[in-house]
Amino acid sequence: MRYARSAFIVVGIALAAAGGTIAYRAAFVEPRTAVLISEEGVREVPNTPRIIGGIALFLLGVALPVFAARRRG
């Protein structure tokens, strides 16, 4: 129990880093998942579920160390 707080902080930072990387790569680096063809032209659509999942993982990773670092008592 003594090292649980430190472990939660480290795991939270790792989750936030992974989530941020996933969201960034899905939004800007990796190829688009779909092509939308309309009257105005052809447009590529990003991988929205992967971006949302990465942002959710990032927020979870940020919240975990914040709550672990709070003093109880």
What gap in Å lies between CA 29 and CA 26, rounded to an integer? 6
Instruction: Compute the mean pLDDT over every residue in the chain, rounded to the nearest whole number.
Output: 90
Determine the Cα–Cα distance for residues 17 and 29; give it in Å rounded to an integer.
16
* pLDDT the model gives residue 73: 58
E runs forming strands in 1-73: 34-38, 41-45
In single-letter form, the type of residue at position 27 comes to A
Range of the domain at 41: 4-69
Q: Is the confidence at residue 69, as pLDDT, over 80?
A: yes
> What is the reported pTM?
0.81
Q: Is 52 helix (H, G, I), strand (E, B) or coil?
A: helix
36-52: per-residue pLDDT in tens? 888 888 888 888 999 99
Residue type, 64: L
Q: Which residue has the higher pLDDT, 45 or 21?
A: 21
Match 């979870």 to its residue by tokens.
60
Give how many domains the chain has, as a whole number. 1
